Structure 1
Amino acid sequence: MATTVQKYEKVGFLLDMDGVIYKGKDLIEGSAAFLKKLRQLEIPYLFLTNNSQRTRRDMALRLNRLGIPAAPKDIFTCGISTARFLAEKKPNATAYVIGENGLGSALHENGISVVDDDADFVVIGEGRTMNFENIEKAVRLVYNGASLIATNLDTTCPTDQGIRPGCGAIVAMIEAATGKKAFSLGKPSPVMMRMARKTLGLRTDETIMVGDTMYTDVLGAVEMGYRSALVLSGHTTENDVAHYAYRPDIIAPCLNDLPESFFLKPLSGQTAEPALPEMANAS
């Protein structure tokens, strides 16, 4: 509704997915309603994830099946930020890749050729089909001069059966063997956070990051100067926050519990009105 744009300061959301929108295979209660309200209020949002396994099209399909309207353009992955960064720094580069379809697709779309030898980059993403031969080849290439790139440094990934080793754990093996540190392009990397903000056409002070993880979502927002919201619908508890030197701007049980006053700021001369009357306020 156009009146909302006129009455309230411009704002937009970067939204983590697992632990914020859904958890495992289940939609988190209230997330669909909150996103519907954002669309009604013409507040832009972008799904932001450190999962490079699936393509944007695959992720959009999953959201639609959960009842969340989404198109591929609404999703921004660490695989995309990695591919765009490499293409900018070295057009038509080559990469040896440990990862899955989402990462490979992003690299190809940005003109990066996937090779088995003589690679400019060794790019590590999420992968369940890797073997020790892949690690050996990656180590040799990095030792011989290829730049080591990580789509993210998350050491674990959540699954329905529990955690499994994440990209950061794979990268750690290669770093230990070669003595070279990886450059990461996933949250909380300022490269990914800045690309996502620019995708929505927002200024720094107009951007809100919502996530369930302190050391990726909240840290990335704090370092970029974005407002941040930590939701407790994922794996972080309120007690965990005390272990960090930085804090989110707000903590809420779930996405739908974010109070209107946090993101709807009346323009000068306007009177605040309850734009989302059925939304529950955060406790």
Structure 2
Amino acid sequence: MKRYRGYLIDLDGTLFRGTELIPGALSFIEKLAGANIPFLYLTNNSSRPPEQVAEKLRGFGFPAEPDQVYTSALATAQYLKEEMDSPSVFVIGEEGLKRAIREAGICINEEQPEAVVVGIDRQFTYEKMKRACLAIRNGATLIGTNADRALPTEEGLLPGSGSLSIGIAAASGVEPLFIGKPEPIIMKYALEKLGTSPEETLVVGDNLETDILAGIRGGMDTLLVFSGITTHEMANKSRIRATYYLDSLRDWSI
């Protein structure tokens, strides 16, 4: 088995489900930390800033600092700053996304935005959709933090931010540009932060269509764990193939 110098690790469905720790996940992270192998917690969830994500991880017992967390919100803010020259934006999302955009020096402007940015928003309303659609039809670019239609929790699969972006796309007639997994944009930024090359980095996740496809598109090997979205049956039927498959992360040797 190939040894890797860096890891990009999904959270929801891979390390925990909502408030439930997934068996084997803690020992896996402790092995990496004990061997001084660099890793990032890489999540499509844009709702929380890195400090809160790290705090939640530490609550489960994981070693986690804010600098080890990279979110779709951070990647979206980085993209807006580097590729769109910091446009004014209308944001549909929660504090993690809004804070990332503000800290990147980008103006949040609800009146005449140059871009509409959509993340998970548990206070989503028809009014927000209306304002987004009007802005898009007036020329604003539609950007989604990620295309995840479902979010694994202890309650089951709940609507993800991708479902909001897709709804706005249907209403406005404009397809969104997605930043998070499985798009290569977030993987490029995450690798830059981690400091490893694609060839020496392993992507770990529970979702073939986001985590694993993101790794493939980024030129990285992948490990699919059957603890979240993807079942054995789904994996057998899918054209997307991971490099490795495991029922539990406790069985992975670094």
Tell me how many residue pairs correspond in the alignment: 253
Aligned equivalents of 1:99, 1:42: Cα separation in 2: 35
2:177 pairs, out of 179, 183, 188, with 183
Task: Say if 1:20 and 1:254, in contact at 8 Å, map to a contact too.
Answer: no
Helix, strand or coil: the match of 2:167? helix
Tell me the residue number matched to 2:229.
235
Unpaired runs of at least 5, structure 1: 1-7, 264-283
Paired-residue identity, %? 36
SS where residue 116 of structure 2 aligns? strand
Task: Check if 1:208 corresponds to 2:206.
Answer: no
Cα distance in structure 2, aligned partners of 1:162 and 1:90:
37
CA distance in 2, matches of 1:169, 1:98: 13
Larger Rg: 1
Dislocated runs of 4+, deviation >6 Å: none
2:144 paired with 1:150: yes
Deviations 1:75-128 (A, max 9, x none): 110111100000112334211010000000110111111111110110000010
Kept in 2, the 8 Å contact 1:91–1:112? The answer is no
Alignment of 1:87-126 (within 5 A): 87-126=81-120
Matches within 5 A, 1:124-139: 124-139=118-133
Q: Is the 8 A contact 1:229 1:252 kept in 2?
A: yes
**TM-score, with structure 1 as normaliser:** 0.86
Q: Give CA deviations for 1:170-194 in whole Å, capped at 9, x if unaligned.
A: 1122211221110000101101011
- In structure 2, stretches of 5+ residues that fail to align are none
Cα displacement (A) at 1:160 = 3.0
Structure 2 residue aligned with 1:268: none
Task: Give distance in 1, aligned partners of 2:167 and 2:13.
Answer: 28
Cα distance in 2 for residues equivalent to 1:19 and 1:156: 11
1:17-74: CA deviations, max 9, x gaps? 1111112212122222221111121111100111001111111111111111211111
Alignment of 1:1-283 (within 5 A): 11-258=5-252, 260=253, 263=254
CA contact (8 A) 1:55 1:101 kept: yes
| Structure 1 residue matching 2:101: 3-state secondary structure | helix
Q: Which amino acid aligns with 1:156?
A: A
Kindly tell me: are residues 246 and 161 of structure 1, through their superposed partners in 2, closer, same or farther at Cα, counting changes over 3 Å?
Answer: closer
Give 1:124's aligned amino acid.
V
- Distance between the aligned counterparts of 2:159 and 2:26, measured in 1? 30
Can you list the C-alpha shifts for 1:201-247, whole angstroms capped at 9, x where unaligned? 11110010000000000111111210100001113212211222121
Supply the AA of the counterpart residue of 1:238. Answer: H
Corresponding letter in the other structure for 1:162: G
Q: Distance in 2 between matches of 1:28 and 1:176?
A: 36
CA contact (8 A) 2:26 2:62 kept: yes
